[in-house]
Structure formats: C-alpha cells, structure tokens
A and B are shown apart, each in its own frame.
Chain A
C-alpha cells in the first residue's frame, strides 16, 4: 500500500473517529443542556425556598444521598422492565382471548375494556418514564453546585412516585373490577352456547 493510499485511509479513519466523538460530544452537550432546563423548570415549580442552613446541610450530605439514589435507580430499571412486560402480556392475553372467541360470543364489551386498560397503562408508562428521568438527573447532577435543583428534583421524584403508585393501584382495580367480570360474563355466554349445541 503506497503512501498516498495510506494517507487517504488514515485521513478517512481520523475523520470517522472525529465525527463519532463530535456526535457523542454534541449528544452529551444536549443532555447537559436538557438537564439544566429540567432543573430550572423544577426549581420554578418548587414552592418552598431553601434557607441558608438548609442549603449548607444539603451541600454537605447530597453526595452521599446520590449513592443511595444510584441503588434506587438500579432497582427502578428492574421495576420498569417488569411492569411494562406484565402489562403488555396482560393486554396480549386479552387480545388473544378476543381473537379466539371470535363470533362465538359478543366481545364488544371486552374490546372496549381492553381499550380502557391500554389508556391506563400508557399513562402509567409515561409517568414511569418521567420518574426515571428525574432519578437519572438526581444521580447525575452536581448537587453541591445546585442544592436547590437537587431539592426540587427530589420533591418532583417523590410526587411522581406517589402518582405512579396511584396509577398502578388503578390498573389493578380496573383489572379486578372491570375486566374480570367481563371475562366471567363471556364465559357464561360460551357455556350457554355450548349447552344449546348439546341440547
């Protein structure tokens, strides 16, 4: 390979590497800018302001708190995956049931209930994603430099966690109080139809 071709290949590789790093740097800068925007928005929503003593205390202890939040974040990834999979499988079971019943019984009610369930699980998924973002920010931010941002993010995380628990309970109640009775009624229809066939 002559020198000319070597230099061209080297130049091409260098260009690709520079492009990769510049893209990564741009992404990182975008994430940093997004983090600052989110912190600013949360600080604006924070109703209470930190006193001087609270600020000092937070600066001293926030780094240790971030280590604990890192463990929370690790567990949250598992929770997020398990929850989303569970809800998706439930919806798949219900859709499969509708397909299998076909014309043997009226599945209109069940289909409407499935739509309602999808709306609830989608709302839950959005809130869960937003919660994950806050936990990521709490772990990644420079809490010593911005204790009020840390406090605001922590309050936002607590609020969203409460909302998630409410959403999960609502989904569970919907399954138990709406969908299960619909499936039971469907079973009765199918059993009655089979009885007619036997008779």
Chain B
C-alpha cells in the first residue's frame, strides 16, 4: 500500500547535544551533527532542511515522524506524564466553600445596610416629628443610666496593685 509520509517539519527537529541514531530512508539525506572545535569559533551548522518524500515503494518499518504520542514514546523511549484525573470532589468542595463565604459576606453587608437604613428611617421619622421635653428627659435618663454602670473606685482601685496586695 502506498504510504504518504507527512513532511518533516522544522519544529519536529529537536536540537541534540550528542549524536543519536537517526531514522533515515533512502530518499532522505541526513546530516549528522559535527562537533565544533573549541579553539576557533566557527559558524553553527545550518539546520537540516526539510524535505518531502512520497514513496510508493515498500514502507519502512517505522515512520519518520511519529503520528501519535504513543509512537513518539516508542521511538524516543521517553515517558509521557500519566494522565491526571482532576480532583473533582476537592474542586467542588472548594467552590462550595467560596460560595458560602461570598453568601455570608453579602448577607452581612445587606443586613448592615438594612440596619443603617432603618436607623436612618427612625431618625428621619423622629426628626420630622416634634421632639418633646419628655423625650429630652428620657435621653438624660439614659445617659445617667450608662454612667451609673461605672464605678471609678472599683474599676481603678489603687489597693489591687499595692505591694501588700501583691505580696512583695
């Protein structure tokens, strides 16, 4: 059967540090890399030119350019990285956690906004209504109640840091 070989492309040619056996056919000339002298610099050898060869004769046992990665593995002896299965469960869990956190944040923000708005509404409502002297008295009583919760002598008792109290 006729076998049409794909053209040998420049990108398929891998730079080699050491000479390696080259798959060649009768129609494809191959240039082996020559070592450069260390003393005198010389221009780098020209890369091998691609050539297209279509033969109708018997095909070689192995194609010049591997058609599939598996064939490339067979040729070069390299190993492909094993197929990785994405950790679906971990990804789903992470997404759910993120969504939950986003939801909590939005909920807290909305609640804050609603509280602020309700306070503003209350204040607006109260502002439109005439404040009575009794309301002023109530505010005064609230202030007195708050200051009454504090006891300066108890809260800042000098005796608690005395040498006698500390046993020094």
Q: Within the complex, what minimum Cβ distance (angstroms) separates B74 from chain A?
A: 22
| Interface residue A16 (Cβ < 8 Å from any Cβ of B) | no
Q: Which residue of B lies closest to A184 (CB)?
A: B140
B2 within 8 Å of A (CB atoms): no
Q: Is the CB of A100 within 8 A of B158?
A: no
Q: Tell me, rounded to whole Å, the shortest Cβ–Cβ distance linking A174 to chain B.
A: 10
Chain B residues bordering chain A, tally (CB within 8 A) = 34
The docked-state distance in angstroms from the alpha carbon of A62 to that of B142 is: 44
A13 at the interface (CB under 8 A from B): no
Partner of A68, one of B85, B137, B142, B166: B166
B136 touches which of A86, A90, A97 (Cβ 8 Å): A97
CB of A171, distance to nearest CB on chain B (Å)? 8
Is B133 within 8 A of A194, CB to CB?
A: yes
Cβ of B146 < 8 Å from any Cβ of A? yes
- Partner pick for A190 among B123, B131, B147, B166, CB 8 A cutoff: B131
Interface of A (DSSP majority class): helix
Q: Is B69 an interface residue (CB 8 A)?
A: no
B131 to chain A, nearest CB (A): 5
Q: Mark A90-124, 1 if CB is under 8 A from B, else 0.
A: 10011011011110100000000000000000000
In the complex formed, the residue of B with least CB distance to A71 is: B160
Query: CB of A18 within 8 A of chain B?
Result: no
Which 7 A-B residue pairings sit nearest by Cβ, starting from the closest? A65-B166, A165-B156, A187-B136, A168-B152, A79-B155, A191-B133, A97-B139
Residue pairs across A and B with Cβ atoms less than 8 A apart, 24 shown, are A4-B82, A5-B87, A61-B168, A65-B167, A65-B168, A72-B160, A72-B161, A86-B147, A86-B150, A96-B123, A96-B139, A100-B127, A101-B136, A102-B131, A104-B130, A161-B161, A162-B156, A164-B156, A165-B152, A168-B155, A168-B156, A186-B136, A190-B133, A194-B130
